[in-house]
Amino acid sequence: MSEKICVAVLYGGYSAEREISLKSGKVVFDHLPSDTFDKYLVDVRTDGLFVQTLQGEVPAVLSPFGFRTEDAEYTFDVAFIAIHGTPGEDGIVQGMLDMLRVPYTTGGVLPMALTFSKAECNAYLAKMGFMVPKGIYTTEAVDPQKVGEELGFPVFVKPAKSGSSVGVSKVTTPDDLPKAIEVARQIDKLILIEQMVKGIEVSCGVTSVFGEVRALEITEIVPAGEFFDYNAKYSGKSQEITPARIRPEAAEYIKRTVEEVYKLLNLSGLCRIDFIVPDRSDPVLIEINTVPGLSEQSILPRQAAYLGIGLPELFSACIFNALKRQA
């Protein structure tokens, strides 16, 4: 057997973000240095986990976690989780790997499950003193009039659990609220109706894979459309500017906040936290991404590049950190 570390790059998954995850996983696979790692892409689908080998796809074996070919057995030492959305970003794969005693590159079951549901996560962050948008979290029908009185229009309507802006709408009049709620409900029974925060949208990477918990850089997002919706995210038309052109106090506040939140929630690996920076008040936290996009063009890899950290170094550090956490 080789002395290299055997890595399963888990990718795919079964949410609307599957296609993006297939890209992220491939980028991780391509950039993990072959002299240190024996690496395999593992497609996680509703019909099972499948390892991509040179001989084609073979089902993963769970105990010990690995796979078999005609002439050999392979055991994974560690899993790199590159699945956006369920089951990689919500604690489900983490629970499976905990049971199999395989270390992995993200936070554990609780932080992943909590950050994946924006309603519970925001309620907890607000309780701990962080600024999140004022909102209503509900599984029931809502009276548009009341929403207007409580929050004022425009509002953002979103499913509690989703990503890539799928099911998210900006609603400017009470009449349009029921339709937006129906769209969000198709993804999750629990929905958020949030006051719109006006300002500059930014995102800040944060990680502990190099030792201490450290904010990366802040990226400003100038969406192509009304807001940073699915199209704006992947059409390549939105502008992303690193570092963001925001007040130095706001930048300081964001970097301090991402580090505090990362520690408080016991996150691990690469995370990215989104904020809106109003003209005159403190930045408001919009959401936490615990498996952010990992392609070369994605925000967090570009922040790392800005700091002189390349993808091979970044992804290798994630694996060493996962192994160290387990030891």
Ligand X SMILES: Nc1ncnc2c1ncn2[C@@H]1O[C@H](COP(=O)(O)OP(=O)(O)O)[C@@H](O)[C@H]1O
If one asks whether residue 201 binds ligand X (CB under 6 A), the answer comes out as yes
If one asks whether residue 165 binds ligand X (CB under 6 A), the answer comes out as yes
If one asks whether residue 41 binds ligand X (CB under 6 A), the answer comes out as no
122 is annotated as contributing to ligand binding: no
Nearest to ligand X of 168, 171 (CB atom)? 168
Stretch of 54-62, 154-162, 265-273, 303-311 lying at the interface with ligand X (CB under 6 A) = 154-162
Stretch of 31-39, 160-168, 242-250, 315-323 lying at the interface with ligand X (CB under 6 A) = 160-168
Nearest to ligand X of 171, 215 (CB atom)? 171
Q: What is the 3-state secondary structure (H, E, C) of the chain?
A: CCCCEEEEEEEECCCCCHHHHHHHHHHHHHHCCCCCEEEEEEEEECCEEEEEECCEEEECECCCCEEECCCCEEECCEEEECCCCCCCCCCHHHHHHHHHCCCECCCCHHHHHHHHCHHHHHHHHHHCCCCCCCEEEECCCCCHHHHHHHHCCCEEEEECCCCCCCCCEEECCHHHHHHHHHHHHCCCCCEEEEECCCCEEEEEEEECCCCCCEEEEEEEEECCCCCCCHHHHHCCCCEEECCCCCCHHHHHHHHHHHHHHHHHCCCCCEEEEEEEECCCCCCEEEEEECCCCCCCCCHHHHHHHHCCCCHHHHHHHHHHHHHHHHC
If one asks whether residue 162 binds ligand X (CB under 6 A), the answer comes out as yes
Least separation, in Å, of the C-beta of 194 and ligand X?
A: 4
Among the listed residues 164, 203, 208, 268, the single catalytic one is 164
- 191 touches, from Mg ion, ligand X, none (C-beta below 5 to 8 Å by class): none
Using CB under 6 A, pick the residue from 102, 180, 197, 251 that binds ligand X. Answer: 197
Summarize as ranges the residues that interact with Mg ion (CB under 5 A).
287
Summarize as ranges the residues that interact with ligand X (CB under 6 A).
133, 156, 158, 162-165, 168, 194, 196-197, 201, 227-228, 274, 276, 286-287
Kindly list the catalytic residues: 17, 164, 298
